[in-house]
Amino acid sequence: SYVLTQPPSVSVAPGKTARITCGGNNIGSKSVHWYQQKPGQAPVLVIYYDSDRPSGIPERFSGSNSGNTATLTISRVEAGDEADYYCQVWDSSSDHSVVFGGGTKLTVL
């Protein structure tokens, strides 16, 4: 089955740029979606199809995907961005299944 690997934690100071990676075998050939989840809340879609933003998501959130790594970038980080972030793909190979990464806890220092 397809595996997505995320760092367990990322820390960043307010106003700086946070980059959260999502590794997978040839992930650049897949479409990657990203979700933000704050404690006690349901996940929220923040990036879809690698780099598109749903309405209402700040332009500070952006995404890229190439080779074996997809990246969620959050510019000018704010305290309110502190959350867990999950990447997700559709594995159309053997399993035909949705796959989530293990999640990354973003801490704003």
Q: Closer to other proteins at the Cβ: 49 or 66?
A: 49
Q: What's the closest the beta carbon of residue 29 comes to other proteins, in angstroms?
A: 11
Q: Which residues of the chain form contacts with other proteins (CB under 8 A)?
A: 1, 31, 33, 35, 41-45, 48-49, 54, 86, 88-90, 92, 95-103
Q: What's the closest the beta carbon of residue 24 comes to other proteins, in angstroms?
A: 14
Q: Closer to other proteins at the Cβ: 78 or 95?
A: 95
Q: What's the closest the beta carbon of residue 87 comes to other proteins, in angstroms?
A: 10
The CA angle 23-27-31, to the nearest 5 degrees, is 120
Q: What's the closest the beta carbon of residue 38 comes to other proteins, in angstroms?
A: 12
Q: Closer to other proteins at the Cβ: 23 or 90?
A: 90
Q: Closer to other proteins at the Cβ: 32 or 77?
A: 32
Percent helix, strand, coil in the chain, to 5, is: 5, 50, 45
Cα–Cα distance for residue pair 68/25, rounded to 1 Å: 5
Cα–Cα distance for residue pair 43/84, rounded to 1 Å: 9
Cα–Cα distance for residue pair 45/57, rounded to 1 Å: 9
**Residue 105 · residue 84 · CB < 8 Å:** yes
